[in-house]
Amino acid sequence: MKPMVQQAQEAAAYIGKRSGHRPVIGLVLGSGLGVLAEEIRHADVIPYEEIPHFPVSTVQGHAGQLVLGELEGQTVVAMQGRFHYYEGYGLDQVTFPIRVMKDLGVDRLIVTNAAGGINLDFGAGDLMLIQDHINLMFNNPLFGPNAPEWGVRFPDMSDAYDPSYRQLARRVAEDQNVSLREGVYVGLTGPTYETPAEIRMLRKLGGDAVGMSTVPEVIAARHAGIRVLGISCISNLAAGILDQPLSHDEVMETAEQVKPRFIRLVKGIIKDIRSV
C-alpha cells in the first residue's frame, strides 16, 4: 500500500473521531470564498494543523480548516482554504484532502476558485460554470506508481465536470435569476499572474478563465470516481485586458462583492445535487 493511501486513511480516521458527521458532498472553497463554510450548521471545525499528514494553508483568504456539518439538508465537508502548487507543496499533498474526503465517504465534489477572465465577454464579478479544464501545470498528481485502492492507471477525463451537475447548476442559476457564464478553466502553476502575451496565447488555446488551482484536485477526484462540479469567481480581468496591474487584494475584494450570489448559487446546487 502506498504511504499516501495509509496516511489518507489515518487522517480520515482522525476526522471520524473528531466529528460525528458522515459527509457525502465535498466543498473546496477558493480565495475569498471560504465564507460559504460559515453557512454550515452544527459545524465541527478542525484546523488543518491538527489533522495527521494534512498540509497547512499559507495564502491570505484561505482560513486553513476543515468544516463538517449540515448544509441545505446534506452532510458536507468543506475545505475552508486549499493548498496550491505554488506554495511549494507537491501535487500529491495538494490533492491529499480529496483522497481523505473519499475515505470519509464523499462521492460528489464542488470545487471553487478565483480566476482571471480571459474571455473578453467576461467581467470581474462574473461566476463561471467550468465546462472543462486545460492542465498547463506541467505536472500531474497521478505521477508515480498508481494506487489501485484509489483508481485506475489511466483515468478517463472526458466528462471531468459532470454534465448532469452542469445542467443542475444552469437550472439553479436560472431559477435564481443569476447570470452564470460557462467556459474552460486553464490551470497554471502561479504564483505570478500571467503576462499579456501569455493571456493572448491562452485565449488562442481556448481558455476562458485562468487560475492556479483546481486542476490537480479535479484529476484526483475523477481518479477516485468522485463526480465534480466546478465554479470560478472571475475576480479580475486577465493580464493585458485592462491597463492596470493585477493583485491578490483585487481578487479578495471581488470575492467579497460576489459573496451573496456565490453562496446562494452553491447552496441551491447542494440542495438538489443528490437528485442527479
Ligand X SMILES: Nc1nc2[nH]cnc2c(=O)[nH]1
Q: Which residues are annotated as a binding site for a purine D-ribonucleoside?
A: 194, 236
Measured from the CB atom, is 51 or 128 closer to ligand X? 128
59 binds, among ligand LQZ7MJT6, ligand X, none (CB under 5 to 8 A by kind): ligand LQZ7MJT6
- H-run or E-run covering 117: strand 108-117
265 DSSP assignment: H
147 binds, among ligand X, ligand LQZ7MJT6, none (CB under 5 to 8 A by kind): none
Closest by CA position to 96, among listed 33, 148, 162, 28: 28
CA distances from 216 to 95, 174, 221 (A): 6, 30, 9
Active-site annotation holder among 43, 48, 57, 87: 87
Letter string b/e over residues 141-180, b meaning 16 or more CB atoms within 10 A of that residue's CB: bbeeeebeebbeeebeeeebbbeebbebbeebbeeeeeeb
Q: How far apart are the first and last CA of the chain?
A: 34
Q: Whose CB is nearest to ligand LQZ7MJT6?
A: 30
Q: In the structure grid, which three cell numbers stand for residue 102, read together?
A: 473519499
188 binds, among ligand LQZ7MJT6, ligand X, none (CB under 5 to 8 A by kind): ligand X
Q: Reply yes or no on whether 232 is catalytic.
A: no
User: What amino acid is encoded at 127 in this protein?
Assistant: L
Residue 242's beta-bridge partner residues? 239
Active-site annotation holder among 19, 213, 232, 235: 213
Q: Reply yes or no on whether 236 is catalytic.
A: yes
Active-site annotation holder among 11, 114, 160, 209: 114
Measured from the CB atom, is 39 or 87 closer to ligand LQZ7MJT6? 87
Site string for ligand LQZ7MJT6, 32-71 (x = CB under 6 A): ---------------------------x------------
Q: How many CB atoms lie within 10 A of CB 242?
A: 11
Measured from the CB atom, is 151 or 187 closer to ligand LQZ7MJT6? 187
DSSP output for 82-113: ---GGGT--HHHHTHHHHHHHHHT--EEEEEE
Contact status: 265 vs ligand LQZ7MJT6 (CB under 6 A) = no
Q: Reply yes or no on whether 128 is catalytic.
A: no
Which of 23, 34, 211, 268 is in the footprint of ligand LQZ7MJT6 by CB under 6 A? 211
Active site residues: 31, 62, 84, 86-87, 114, 212-213, 236, 248
